[in-house]
Structure 1
Amino acid sequence: MEALSGLRIVVQEGDIMHNFALANGLGAKLSLVDTQVDALRDLADGKYDCALVARITALYWIQKYGWDHLTVGTKPLLLPGYCYAVPNNNSALLAQFSEGLKILNETGEFRRIYEEWMGGYKPIAPDFFTILRYAAFVLVPLTVLLLGFLMWNRSLRKQVALRTEALRSSEEFQRAMIECSPIALYSVDIKGRVSSWNASVERVFGWAAEDVMGKPLPIHPDDVKLEIETLRRRIFDGQTIVGMEVVRLRKDGSMFDGSLSVAPIRDKNSEVIGIMGAIEDVTERKRMEAEVRASEEKYRDLFENAPIGIFRTSSEGQSLLVNTTMAHLLGADSPQEALKYYSNLGTQLYFSPERREEFLRLLKENGKVEDFEYEAKTLDGSRLWLAMNASVKERREDGSFLIEGFTSDITSRMQSEDNLRSLTARQEALLAAIPDIIMEVDVNKVYTWANPAGIEFFGSDVIGKEAADYFEGEQKTYQLVQPLFNGHEEVVYVESWQRRKDGKKRLLAWWCNVLKDKNGNPTGALSSARDLTDQRVLEDQFIQAQKMESVARLVGGVAHDFNNMLSVILGYAELALDKVFPDDPLHEDLQEIQEAGRRAADITRQLLAFARRQTIAPKVLDLNEAVEGMLRMMRRLIGEDIDLAWHPHPGLGPVKMDPVQIDQILANLCVNAKDAITDVGKITMETDRVSFDEAYCADHAGFVPGDFVMLGVTNNGCGMTPETLEKIYEPFFT
C-alpha cells in the first residue's frame, strides 16, 4: 500500500478493487473507467502509473493485445473468495453442480483449477543462467543413473499407467454420474448393506450418506418384508425390474409412494455382488392422477346426466361424441345409436341444409356461435326446433376443425311464439278494423301505444308524447282521470277537445280503463275514444230545429190571426178611399194606412213562410239590383247621422230567391246596426263571389262545397257581447 502512494491509479468504477482503494485512503489519486480492459489500455498508453485489476484479467488482455511492457505485480492486494449460484427455485441444478464439484474435489482436479485460475500469484520465473547453475549441481550426478533406470522401466510404466488411468477414469466416471444424477440412486451389497447413497436419495429419504453407508437399508416399512425377500430373489436370479410401485419409509417416519427400478450389480465373472436401485417419489404425481381421475369421473357423470344435449362433431359433418340427453333429443335410445345414424349432419340432421352452411360460416368467421336456432330431423323423421351454442376447438392444416357445444329443445317455445304471433296478428287486425281510437299511456300520461285509428288521428309521432300536448283549450281532463291512477276507479268517462294532426279541433269521448301490475299497482291506462264533433253539431242543429219548430207554431198562429185583422183594415181603407176625393186631406192619410197595411201583410206573409204555412216565392234575380232598390228605404230607416256605403261586385251573376226575404234581411240588419251605433257611424253593404271547399265545409255545419254569391253587411257600432253572439240565430231574440 505504501508503494501505491503518490502514483496515478486507474480502476474500473464499481469494481471490488474500487471499493478496496476507497477503503484504504487512495480515493484522491483514483481515476475511474468503465471496464478493466479500459484501465489496462490507458495504463499501456502511459496515462497512469498503476491499474488495479484482477490478475487473470490482466494476463489475458496483456497477452491478447501484446502489451509486453506492462508488468503484473508479484503480491496480491486482495484475495477474494469465490462461490457459485443458480437461478432461484432450481434446487435440482444446484444439487447436480454440487455433486460435480464434489467429485472434482476428491480427484484433486478442483484444487488444480482453482490454483490455476483463482489462486494466488505465481512467483517470478528465474532467468536461464540461474536455472542452469542450480541444475548443474543436481542433474549431472543423476543423469547416468537415471538413463539406465528409465530404459528398463519405460515399457512397464507405460502399460501400468494406461491400465490404471482407464480403471480410474471408469470408476470416477461412474461415481460422478451417480453423485450428479437428479434421480435418487443407491446400491447395496450382497448382504444388504448400503454401498452407495447419492445426494438425490438423501433428499428423498432424509438420511445422510454417513448415516447409512455400510448399514442395512433403512427405507423398508415393517409390513413389506415379504415383498423385499421376493424382490431380492428376483434380482439375484438376474432380473431387472423397472417402474415397480412401492411404499417406502422416510427418516421422519412418514410414508410416500415411489416408483422403484432395480438391477443386479455383477463382477467380472458376471456374478451378482449387489443391487443398484433407483427410486422416484411419485406421491404428488399419484395424487394428481387421482384428482384427474376423480375430475374425469365427475365431468363424465355431468356429461352423461346433463339436462341439455352436449356434442362434439367435425366440420365435415361427422358426429364424434354426444351425451345421453342429446341422443334422446334426436330420438335415439343411446349415444351409440345416435353416433351410428348421424354420419352426415348437413343432410341427416338439418331440415334445411342451408342452415348448416350458415352455422359453419359463422363459426369460421367468429370462432363461436350463440343461440343458433334451426329445425332438425330426428331418427324417425319427426321435426323439432333446436338452439345451440358452439365453438371451434381444434383447427387442422387442411382447414377442417372440431366443433363442441350444447343444444336445447326449443320446440315448445317456437310453437308458443307462433301462437303468439298468430294471436298478435289477429289482435292487430281487430284493432285496425275498429274505427275508434285506442291509446295506451303510462303513469305519467305519456302515450306508449296506439292503434291505426289513433295514429291516423294524432299522427305517427304521437308515441312518447304526453297526452296534454294534444289538449285544446283549458280543461280538467287530468283531474277527471286521476282516480284511475290513484287506484280508486277502474273505468272513467271523459269528453275532451283534442287537436288532430291537421291542427283541427275535435271533441273526443274517452272511456279510460286502468292497467295494473301483478301487485295491483296502476301502471297506466288503456283508453278508447270516439270523435263526437259531427254528432254534437247534429245534436245542436236538431235542438235548434226543435226550437224553430216550436217558435214556428207560435208565429204561425199569431201571423194567421194578424193577417185576418189586416185584411179587414185594408178592406175598410180601400172602401174609405173610394168615398173621398183625391184632394181631400183624408185621402193621403188613408193611403198611408193602406201602405202600412200592405207592409204589415208582407211581414205576415214572411211569418207564415217561416212557420211553413205559406210557400215562399223565389225567382231568378240580380242581387245587386235587388239591394239597390232597397237603398232609398234603408237610408230613411237608419237616419241621416249614419252613412250607408254600397259596394256591388260587377258580374255577380243571377241568384234564385224570394225578394221579400232580401228586404227582410237588409231591414233587420240595418235596424240592428242603427241600434248598435251611437251618434254618427257607418254601415257598409257589399256583394262578392265566394267558393267553399270540403275542408271549410267540414268545420262549418250546414255548408256544402261550391260557388256562391255573398251579401255582406258591416257596421262600426259597439258590436255584440259573447253572450249575445251565442243567441243570434234564436228567432226573435233581438
Structure 2
Amino acid sequence: MLDSNIENITHLANIELKKQLAILKETLREKEKAGERLQESENRYRRLFESARDGILILDAETGKVVDVNPFLLQLLGYSYDEMCGQHIWEIGVFKDIAASKEAFYTLQKNEYIRYEDLPLETRHGKPIAVEFVSNVYLVNQSKVIQCNIRDITARKQADAERKQLQAAIEQAGDVIVVTDAQGNIQFINPAFVRTTGYSREEAIGQNPRFLKSGQQDDLFYRTLWDTISSGRIWAGQMVNKRKDGNLYTEESTISPIRDASGRIINYVAVKRDITQHLRLTAQFHQAQKMEAVGLLAGGVAHDYNNMLSVILGYTELALGMVAPAEQLHADLEEIYKAAKRSTDITRQLLAFARKQTINPAVLDLNQIVQSMLKMLRRLIGEDIDLSWLPEAGLYPIKMDPTQIDQLLANLCINARDAIANVGTIIIETQNVVLDKTYCANNIELVPGKYALLTISDDGSGMDKETLNHLFEPFFTTKKMGQGTGLGLSTVYGIVKQNNGFINVYSEPGKGTTFKIYLPWHMGQTIENQRELILEVPVSQGETVLVVEDEPSLLKMDERILEKLGYKVLAACTPNEALSFTKEPANEIHLLLTDVVMPEMNGRELAERLQPLCPGMKTLFMSGYTATVIAHRGVLDEGVNFIQKPFSTKDLAVKIRDALRDK
C-alpha cells in the first residue's frame, strides 16, 4: 500500500515537474523571442537613427551629457562623433543659445517638452543655419533621456523669404500684374491694378478682363490676342482700356501662359504698364523737335529773303528821292516800296518763330505795357467786340523786349477777333503763378519757378484737336485764301520760346479759346515804357563811315544811302579791304557799319582789329538775322549797337546817330 502511494506520488511529481519544465522552456522561448524583437526594434531604430534626414541628439537627462548623435546632425554641424559624445550640451558652442549654463539646461529638463519653430544656429565653421528644434523626455531602462530632433529649415526659410520678397515685389510693383485661370477669369490682381483702373480687388476677382474694354479695339484684335495665348505663345502689344471713372488710358501689355508639370495651360499672367503720360510726353517732344526743324528752315529762308528785300527797299527809296512826287513813276515806286515793306513783316514773323529775331530786353512791368496797348487793341478788334482788362496788382517783373509784347498782344487779339463771328468778348488777364515740380512733370516743356501769366481768352468758335496739333506751325491757317498768312501764332510761339517762356492753349469747338503765356519772373528794377517818336531824319555832322558788306549790291546801296545822309563813305567788300583803309593817315574813321557774318572774319573780330588802329571809333552791326557773334539766344550783348536788315534810310540814320552818341 505504501509502495503504491509512493509510486503515485512520484508519478504526480514527475507530471508536475514536466509541466514546470515545459513552462520554463516556454518562458525561455518567449524571452528569447522578446530579445529578438527588442534587438530587431533596436536595429530598426538604429537604422532610422542613422539614416534620418533630421538631426537627432540624445542627452542624459540627469547630467546633460550627449549620449548619442546621428550622422546627419554631425554632418550638419561639422563635428565628429567623438567630439560631441560625452560633452555637456552647454560645452558645445553651437548650442550655447539654447543651454548657456547648467541652470538653463535644468530648466530645459523640467519642461520636458520644448519647441523652437525657427532657431538660429551656427556650425562649427561659422556658417549660419536655421533649424526647427523639438525636445522630449523619455524613460529608457529606468533612466530619463532627452531626445532632441533638429530639422534644417535653412532652405525652406530662404524659399519662404524669396516668396515673401516676390510677393512684396508684386504688391509694390508700379506695373499692373493680373493672373487669370485658363478660361481668362481673374484670380489675382496687385495694388497697381487698383490704382490704374479704379476697380477694387473685390470688384475685379472673378471677372473677365473684358470689363475694361474701351471700344477702341475691334473683335478681331481680341480674337487674335486669345488665339495667341491659348496656343501657348506670348502676346505683347498696346491697347486702350477704360477706367472705372470712364476715362481712357493706353497700356503696354505682355500676356504669358503658365503651364503645369504636364504642359497643360492652367493660368495666364499679364504684366501691364500705363503709358498714357509717356505717350503724351513723347508727342510733346516730337512736336518740339518738329517745330525746331521748321524754325531752322524758316530762319534760313528769312535771312535770304531779307537780303533781297534790303536791295529792293533801299534802291526803291533812293529812286523815290530822284523822282518828282507828281510823276506817275513816283506813285509806281511807292507801290513797290509798300509791297516790300509788307514783305518785311513776313520775314520779321519768320525770324520771331525761328527765335532769330534780335531783341534788346529790359526789366518791365507787364501790366504797364498791356495798359499802354489797350487803345490800339480796341481799334484793332472793332466796336462789336468787348475787350476786358483784368490785371493782378503786384505782378512779377519780367525781362523782355517791349516790342515783342506788342507783337504778342496784337497777334493774339487779331486771332481772337477772327474767331468771333459777330459780337463777343476778349479778356486779357495777368496773374502771378508758381509752377512746382509736380505740375511740371506732366509737361516736358515746363520748368518749375515763378511766372507772370498772361492770359488771352475769347468766346469765339474754338478749335478741334487736329487744328490745335498744327496751331503754331508757320503758314498753317484755317482762314480763307487772302485772309491770313498763317504766321501770327507762329510768331507768338517763337517770341515766347525766345524769352524762355511757355504757352498752353485750351480750346473746344463752340467753346472759345484761351491762350496762357508763362513769362519767367526776373529780379530787377522795372523801367518806364517810353517810346520816342522821331519825326526828322538825322543827318551827318561831317563824320566818316566805313561800311563793310560782302554782298556787292547791298554794299553799293548802303554807300549811296550814307552819301545821301551827308557822310563821307569808305566802302569795303571784305574785312581785309576794310583794314587796308587804316593805312591812309587821312582816313579818320568815326563809325564802322559792318555786316556780322562775312568771309575772312566776322564783324565783331573786324571791329576788335580796327579799334586799336582807330581810337574813338564807334561800331554799328547790321544783319538779316540774329547771330551768336553779337547775341546769345537773340539777346544783344551789353553795349552792342545793331540794326536789323532790311532797314529804311530813316532807321539807319537814327541808329547811326545813336551809335555816334554812345559813350
TM-score normalized with structure 2 length: 0.50
Larger Rg: 1
Where relative contact order (Cα < 8 A, 6+ residues apart) is larger, the structure is 2
TM-score normalized with structure 1 length: 0.46
